[in-house]
Amino acid sequence: MRNTARWTAALGLTAAAVCGPLTGAAVAAPDAAPAALYAPSALVLTIGHGENAATVTPERAVTLTCAPTASGTHPAAADACAEVRGADGDFNALKGRQGVWCTQLYDPVVVTVEGVWQGKRVSYERSFGNTCVKDAAAGSVFAF
C-alpha cells in the first residue's frame, strides 16, 4: 500500500512538473491578433463592346482595391473608391456627371464588377447604349 501511495505521489509530482499545476482554472491563450483591421474591398472591373457579359470578350480590365487605401491598376483609384463608398457599394446608385449630352448611336458597352466590397461578395453587370452614356452615368468608376 505504501508503494502505491509513493507511486501516486511521484506520478502527481511528475504531472505537475510537466503540465503545470492542476488547479481547475483554465490557462488563457494569448490574445489572438485580429485577422484584419478593415473589411476587404478588392474588385476586378471589365469593359467590352456588346449587350451582355456572356457574349462579350472583355477589352479592358482593371483592379480596384479600396481598403486600407485606394490602389490597383485603375487609373483613378482614389476617385473611383470615393464614388463607390458614396454609393454605399451599390453600383446602380453611382452618381454620374450631370449635363452631358451623348449621341443616340447604339454601340452597346457592357461593364462587369466581380470581387468583394467591404467583406461582401459583389457580382454586377450593366449595359450602356454607348461609351459616352457609360462615362456620363458612372463617373470615374468605369472610366478606364
The neighbouring-strand residues paired with 60 are: 47
CB atoms within 10 A of CB 82: 16
Report the candidate in 103, 102, 84 with the shortest Cα–Cα distance to residue 92: 84
Query: Average pLDDT, stretch 115-139?
Result: 93
For the beta carbon of residue 35, count every other beta carbon within 10 angstroms. Answer: 6
pLDDT single digits (tens) 74-105: 999 999 999 999 999 999 999 888 788 999 99
- d(CA 91, CA 83) in angstroms, rounded, equals 9
What are the grid coordinates assigned to 80, written together?
473611383
Query: pTM of the predicted model, to two decimals?
Result: 0.70
- What would the pLDDT profile of 13-55 be if each residue is shown by its tens digit? 334 443 444 444 444 444 555 555 667 899 999 999 999 999 9
In words, the CATH class of domain 42-138 is alpha beta
pLDDT score of 67:
86
Tell me the longest C-alpha to C-alpha distance in the chain.
103
